Amino acid sequence: MQAVHNGCRSRRGVRRFISTISCAIVLFSWGAMAFGDAGEAEAIRPFKIAVPEEVLVDLKSRLARTRWPDEIAGSGWNYGVEPAYLRDLVDHWQTKYDWRAAERKLNTFPQFITSIDGVDLHFIHVRSSHKGALPLVITHGWPGSVVEFVKIIDPLVNPTAHGGRAEDAFHVVCPSLPGFGFSGRPKTPGWSSSRMAAAIATLMERLGYDRYGAQGGDWGSGVSTWLGNHDSAHVVGAHITFLGSGVPQGADPWAGISTEVRERFEARSKELQAHFGYSAIQGSRPQTIGYALNDSPVGLAAWIIDKFWAWSDHRGDLDNSFTKDELLTNIMVYWVTQTPASSARIYFERDYYDGGRKAGRSAPVGVAMFPKEIGVPPRQWAEKRYRLVHWTDMPRGGHFAAMEQPELLVGDMRKFFAPLRAERGEK
């Protein structure tokens, strides 16, 4: 890969190494559209998902030749993904699921590619017709994708059609993180979530957005708060749904915290006690697990579904939280782009890089705490960590809030950003 070094060509500082890495699996248009005075390396190119038919034929063949493991009868989900559920999901995948329909739906959203820091960054970009709409970048995590945001994009962009006010409108940008989905796969080490956040800050600048909000869950929460800390001259606020679950060190962390909140935290921690093996593996040997996940669609599905089961408010039946088509479309994004290994590496790279721009006071933070999130820590812990101005304890929902409880999430985002728009003169 040949890289071209660019000097200080923008008000925000030094551009890093810029090159073009094409997505090998998808076919897309290399449009010539660019913004501002950016050169060819900074072009923003229209993108359309078009998975080659041979990829889908190969998938069908692999599904049909699945070697199913044995099981302990009646064990349910105790040993991992329930065999009966997975067999049913795979049958649906083979006989009922329609990727082309999902592809058409995703392609109703305007999508683009641009090269930043040597990696092609894919993103959905939908502008609102409402005057004064606030730009908003929404970031996913693992094992998610931009598929998570299908239900919330139009309510954010066109609030008057979904019970909101015109002044609640956003211009929405949903990037695929580097190494995920239709973005390029980094070929060098060091692509931590903070480096990804720096690339997203550059993306928002390249789109001409001088002020914007950030929202995210999972790794997207880290991206959003990094943007609020390091690009606070332009970020009006960061809304997140994930805080982690570690108990703070030092003085008694439970001082002043109610028994109810402590019991909630401890109960959720106990529920997930056996569910962190994936993180240890991806954080230490991502390439090793990548071979299996990239070669077996059923193995990939099991690895991902295990987390949707553990982290959602399904009440014993995953169909209560997600349709099979929703789950499979997210899995398919990993499969057709061959990104199981490259996406897993974010766990390995997590502590590698925390540099980048830094400007002024950190942006305010808002939290929507869903009861089946990975961790449900007390508000007091977040207050010590962030410039917290907003907190909502949600009545239901889990880690994949935009898919599971889109109306609750959108409502909370509107509420959090409303006063920040006024402070920043967005109305």
**Looking at 117, 218, 313, 325, which residue is catalytic?**
218
Ordered strands of the 119-126 beta sheet = 45-47, 111-116, 119-126, 170-175, 134-139, 212-216, 235-240, 365-369, 388-393
Phi-psi sector, 338: left (phi>0), alpha (psi -120 to 50), beta: left
Structure tokens given for 266? 């401890």
**Looking at 122, 140, 230, 399, which residue is catalytic?**
399
Pair 123, 182: CB distance under 8 Å? no
Task: Give the Cα separation of 219 and 139 in Å (integer).
Answer: 8
Q: How many CA atoms lie within 13 A of 408 on its CB side?
A: 20
399 is catalytic: yes
Pair 150, 35: CB distance under 8 Å? no
Residue type, 9: R
Using alpha carbons only, what angle is made at residue 32 by residues 30 and 38, rounded to the nearest 5 degrees?
120
Adjacent-strand bridge partners of 136: 172, 213
- DSSP characters over 153-171: HHHHH-GGGTT--GGG-EE
Pair 143, 187: CB distance under 8 Å? no
218 is catalytic: yes
Using alpha carbons only, what angle is made at residue 406 by residues 403 and 411, rounded to the nearest 5 degrees?
155
Separate counts of helices (H) and strands (E) for the chain: 15, 9
120 is catalytic: no
**Looking at 117, 347, 386, 412, which residue is catalytic?**
347
Structure tokens given for 172? 């929405």
Residue type, 360: G
Task: Give the Cα separation of 197 and 424 in Å (integer).
Answer: 22
Choose among 47, 16, 68, 11: nearest CA to 191: 16
Known catalytic residues are 218, 347, 399
